[in-house]
Amino acid sequence: MKKSALLMLILSAFMLTAPSPSPASRPVPRTLTGCVMNGVLYTVHKSHQKGVKPTVYRIKVHAFDLTHYEGSKIRLKGNLLPGDNFYPNPKTLKVMGACDRASWATIQTYGP
């Protein structure tokens, strides 16, 4: 009797503490603006707090060739998924000119 009660207690504790699969995040619609360097889109996010260094994200753009926009600042709308995976709508591409020097310097200094 004691063994079966102990076994039930252990099984119950295991079931309550067993890891469960966490659901993945759904795609989030986003408009990204950034610079294309070596065929990769980099976005720069500057903090509003003084003394905090900017954050540079290397965006993995899927099903879209960025090599034609090397050195340009572009804006794209699409869906952002975990891991900075971006699925753009090619019809939303807007070339905003050459990437500015401040963005280049930030990407080279703080980039991944």
User: Largest Cα–Cα distance of the chain, in whole Å?
Assistant: 78
Q: Please state the domain count of the chain.
A: 1
Count of CB atoms situated within 10 Å of the CB of 56:
19
Domain extent, residue 45, equals: 29-110
Ramachandran category for residue 21: left, alpha or beta (phi over 0 → left; psi -120 to 50 → alpha): beta
> Using one digit for the tens of pLDDT, what is the confidence trace for 58-87?
999 999 999 999 999 999 999 999 988 999
Q: Is residue 17 part of a domain?
A: no
Q: What is the spatial distance between Cα 46 and Cα 106, in angstroms, rounded to a whole number? A: 10
Q: How many residues does the chain have?
A: 112
Q: Is residue 6 part of a domain?
A: no
Q: What is the model's pLDDT at position 6?
A: 61
Q: Is residue 12 part of a domain?
A: no
Q: Is residue 78 part of a domain?
A: yes
Q: Is residue 37 part of a domain?
A: yes
Q: Is residue 106 part of a domain?
A: yes
The contacts of residue 17 (CB under 8 Å, 6+ apart) are none
Q: Is residue 13 part of a domain?
A: no
pLDDT beyond 70 at 45: yes
pLDDT (mean) for 2-13: 65
Which range has the worst mean pLDDT, 7-11, 25-29, 48-52, 66-70? 7-11
> Using one digit for the tens of pLDDT, what is the confidence trace for 89-108?
999 999 999 999 999 999 99
Helix (H, G, I), strand (E, B) or coil at 21: coil
Average pLDDT, the chain: 87
Q: What is the model's pLDDT at position 110?
A: 85
Q: Is residue 21 part of a domain?
A: no
pLDDT (mean) for 25-35: 93
pLDDT beyond 90 at 34: yes
Q: What is the model's pLDDT at position 112?
A: 74
